[in-house]
Structure 1
Amino acid sequence: MTDTAPAVATAVRDCPECGAHVADGGRYVTWCAACDWNVDPEVRDEEAPGRVERLRRRLAQRDGEQLLAELTELGEFQDSRELGEPGAHRPTSRRGVAGGLAVGLAVAVHGVTLALLAGGLWLIVAGWGEGFLPAFGALALGLAAVLRPRFSSLAKAGKHQPVLRRPDAPRLFALLDEVAEGVGTTGVVAVVIDADANASVSTYGVRQRRVLHIGLGLWQILTPQERIALLGHEFGHYSHGDTRRSLLVGNAFHSLGTWRYTLAPQQAESLMDSFVNLVTAPPRLLVDGVLVLLEHLTLRDSQRAEYLADSAAARAAGTEAAAGLMDRLLIAESVAGELARESVAARTRLGGARREDPAEGLWERLAAHAASVPEHEYERLRRVAERRGHQVDSTHPPTHLRHRRLTRGTRVEAGIVFAPPRAAEVDAELAEVRRSVARELVRG
C-alpha cells in the first residue's frame, strides 16, 4: 500500500448508530468503521438509468464477481496461464465463442452501413430525375456517412495539448518501451500530455498506431513505482487483448449508439410526434436488442482484460505499487476538484493579493494534497466503491474487487525498478511540458 498521512483527529464522538467511538475526520468525512454510519453521505443526483444501462450494470456485477472467483481459482496473477504462453491452460472456451459471435454481430452492423451506401448510390443513379428516389438515396448516403467506421487522428487526439515524439523525450520513450516489452506488447509513437487525473493508451489512423495519454493530475500524485504500475496497466490491455478495443467491434458500438440517438423517442407535443414515435418504436427496440446482445458478448471479455491489465501492472511494478495505484484512483475525483479550485483561484485572485505566477508549484501542491489524504479516508472510499459497485462504471470491475485481487494473492516483486535517478531524468524531460500545462490550466 502507499504511504498516507496519519489521520488527524481533533475530537472523538460516539457513533449515533452503534455507539462506537468515532474520530473526527477533520476536513474529511467523519464515519464509523464499525457499522459504516455516514460512510457514503454524498447525495447523488443522477437520472434513473434506462433499461439498457440497468441490464449492463446487472451483467457487469455478475461477471465482475464471477471472473474474480475464476481467476483466483486458476492461480495467482503472475501465473503463465494468464500470460498466454504456449501450452497455457485456458479458463474456458466461452470467451472465444463469445468473442467470435461479437465479431460476427459487428460485421452485420457494419453490413447495414454498407447496404445503406450501396442502396443510396443505386437509388440516385437508377432514379435520377424521377420522383423522390434520389432524395431517399441522398438520405441513405447521409446515414451511411454518419455510421461509417471512424479512424481517429493524432491531430485530434492531441488537439490543444502538448504532443511528444521520441526525439523530444528519449528517456521517457525508453521507459515506455521497457514497460511495454515487459508486459508482452509494443510501445507508442507519441505521448499526449494534459491536466486530467487519468491516463490511457489508444490507437489512431488506419494503421492503428498507438498513442499514450498522460494526465498530469494523476501522474504527478504517483510515486515512481506507481507510475510503472500505471504504464503496465495501460499497455496490459494490448498484451492480453480486449474485444471492445478492436476497430471492428468498437466502431459497431459507435454505429449502434448513433442509431439509438437517431431513433430516440421525442416528447409528444403533437399528434405527429406521437405518430413518429410509434413508427420508430420497432427499429428502436431492434437496435436496443442488438446493443444489449453485443454488450453481453463483450462485457465479460472487457472485464477480464481489466483484471489481466492489473496483473500486468503488478508484474511490472510489484504488488505494492499496483495496489497503491488502485488507492490513488480512488481519490481521482478529489484531485480533479483540487485542480478546478486552483484554476478558479488563479482567475479570481485580486491583482495585489499574490504576485507570483500561480502556475509555479501547482503540481507540487497537488502532490502534497494527495499525500495528505489519511488512511481512514482511503478505507472509507474502498467501502464506498464496494457499496456502489457498478453504478459508476459498468465497463470496469469495481475498484474494490480489483484491489482485493491484488492484495490477497501472492506478493509479486517488481520486474522493473524505477530508481530515483532515472525518475529524475524523466521528470527533467517533462519539466517544460508540466509548466505549459499548468499555465494553460490556471488560465482556464
Structure 2
Amino acid sequence: MARQQRALERVLADGRRTAPWNAALVGALALATVVNLVTVALAGTGVWLLVVGTWPERVLGAAEIVIALVLRPRFGRMPRHTLDAAAAPVLHAVTKRIAAELGTKPMDAIAVDARYGSGCTVVGPRRRRVLVIGLPLWETLTADQRLALLGHDLGRASTRGGPSGAWIQTALDALATWADMISPTTELEAARQGVADANAFRPDSLRQNTNISLGHALAQPLQNLLAHGMLALHRLLGRLDDLSGRQSQYRADEMSVRVSSTASADGLLRALLLDETARFAVERAARSGGDVWARVRASLASVPDTERERLLRLARLRGDSTDGSSPPTYFRIQFVNRIPGPRTAVPPSGEEAQAIDEELRPLRTAIADELRSRAG
C-alpha cells in the first residue's frame, strides 16, 4: 500500500504530462517480443525445412509448423449481445462525441453482458474495438455517472489498447500454451501406467518396466522444469503488464473526470466498491421474478451510507481493486478528487437518455432471461 501511495503521488506530480510509456511497459514489450519471435522462428524454419530439407528434416519442419499454428495469435470473437451503429445510433453518437473530446478513436461496436463492470476489447483479424458494458452496473448508475463510465472506458482503450496490448497478450497466450504442451498430463501418466500393466505378464516384463520407469524418471523432471520455467515467464510478463497498466488506469480516470465531473467520477468509483453486494442483488432478483433490473436498482439504492463507508474503509485497508492491473480503488477515488476538473457534469439530454434506454431494451430483456435461467 505504501508503494501504491508513492505511485499515486508521482502521477499527481506529473499531472497530464504523465507519459504513456514507462519502464514496466518497455520490459513487457521486450519480453513479449522475445517470446513471439520464437513462434515466428518456428514457422520460418519449418517452412524452410519443408522446402529444402530431406525427408527427416521435412518431418521436423512439419512438426515446427504445427507448433507455430498452435501458438498463433487468438483474435477473439465478437461478444454475443452486440449493438452496431445501425442498432444503437444514439449510444454510438454519444460515445463518438466523447471519443472526439478525448482525442481517441471511437468504438466499432458496443456490447452488453451480465457482469457488474465494463471494459473494452479488441476482436477479429480486423482488430475491431468493442466497448462492453455490464448491465447490472449501467442500470444502477445515474446519467452523469454513465457519462463518467464511458469516458473512463474510452480513455482506458486509448492507453491500453492498440498493437502493444495485442502483442503482449499473444506472448502470454503462447507461454501458457508452451506450459500445457510440455507439462506431463494425467492422461499421459495413465497411458504410461497402462503400458506397464500390459507388460506385467510378458517374459521380459521386468526389463521393459524398468526401462519405462527409467525413461519416466529422466523425462518428468525435465518436463516439470521446462513447464515451471514457462509459467514463471508468464507470471513475470503478466506482472510487468499489470504494473504498466496501473499508470494508464490513472490516465483513464483523468479522462473520466474531463468528460463528466469530479463528483461523477467519484460516484462511479464508489459504486464499483459494491461489486459483491451487486452480485447477490442480481442473483436474488433473478430468482424472485418480475423486473430484474428494477429490483437490482432498488436493492443497491437501499444500501445505507454506513455500509458504503465501511466498504470504503475496508478497501483502504485491503487495497481492493477492480482487477489485477488496476491501482486500489481507494487511491483512484483520492486521485479523481485531487485533480482539476469540472464540478458538474453535462450528461446526455433527456431525449438522448430515453433513446439509449430504448436501444438497450431488447438486450436488457435477453440478459434478464439468461439470469433467470441460470438461477433456475
Same fold (TM over 0.5): yes
Identify the residue that residue 150 of structure 1 maps to in structure 2. Answer: 74
Question: TM-score of the superposition, structure 2-length normalised?
Answer: 0.81
Return the letter of the residue paired with 2:142. Answer: T
* Superposition map of 1:34-433 within 5 A: 64-75=4-15, 80-82=16-18, 95-96=21-22, 98-122=24-48, 126-128=53-55, 130=56, 136-152=60-76, 156-159=77-80, 161=81, 163-241=82-160, 246-264=165-183, 271=213, 274-295=217-238, 297-343=240-286, 345=287, 358=289, 360-389=290-319, 393-410=323-340, 412-414=342-344, 416-433=346-363
Return the letter of the residue paired with 1:145. Answer: L
Whether the 8 Å CA contact 1:99–1:298 is kept in 2: the answer is yes
- Structure 1 runs not aligned, ≥5 long: 1-60, 83-89, 347-357
Whether the 8 Å CA contact 2:78–2:124 is kept in 1: the answer is no
Q: Percent identity?
A: 31
- Structure 2 runs not aligned, ≥5 long: 194-212
**In the TM superposition, what is the alpha-carbon distance from 1:108 to its structure 2 partner?**
1.6
Whether the 8 Å CA contact 1:224–1:420 is kept in 2: the answer is no
Cα deviation code 1:238-272 (max 9, x no counterpart):
33346896221221122122223334466899856
Q: Does residue 435 in structure 1 map to residue 365 in structure 2?
A: yes
**In the TM superposition, what is the alpha-carbon distance from 1:429 to its structure 2 partner?**
2.2
Once superposed, what is the RMSD of the aligned Cα atoms? Answer: 3.0
Seen in structure 2, the aligned counterparts of structure 1 residues 243 and 166 have a Cα distance that, compared at 3 Å, is closer
User: Residue 202 of structure 1 aligns to a residue in which SS?
Assistant: strand
Seen in structure 2, the aligned counterparts of structure 1 residues 324 and 264 have a Cα distance that, compared at 3 Å, is farther
Seen in structure 2, the aligned counterparts of structure 1 residues 342 and 108 have a Cα distance that, compared at 3 Å, is same
Seen in structure 2, the aligned counterparts of structure 1 residues 426 and 245 have a Cα distance that, compared at 3 Å, is farther
Seen in structure 2, the aligned counterparts of structure 1 residues 430 and 281 have a Cα distance that, compared at 3 Å, is closer
User: Residue 394 of structure 1 aligns to a residue in which SS?
Assistant: coil
Return the letter of the residue paired with 1:310. Answer: D
Whether the 8 Å CA contact 2:122–2:161 is kept in 1: the answer is no
Cα deviation code 1:97-150 (max 9, x no counterpart):
55344333322211111222234445556343x5xx666544433321221112
Whether the 8 Å CA contact 2:29–2:164 is kept in 1: the answer is no
Seen in structure 2, the aligned counterparts of structure 1 residues 117 and 283 have a Cα distance that, compared at 3 Å, is same
User: Residue 197 of structure 1 aligns to a residue in which SS?
Assistant: coil
Return the letter of the residue paired with 1:336. Answer: R
CA distance in 1, matches of 2:235, 2:162: 15
Cα deviation code 1:411-433 (max 9, x no counterpart):
53356423444322211222232
Seen in structure 2, the aligned counterparts of structure 1 residues 428 and 394 have a Cα distance that, compared at 3 Å, is closer
CA distance in 1, matches of 2:315, 2:182: 34
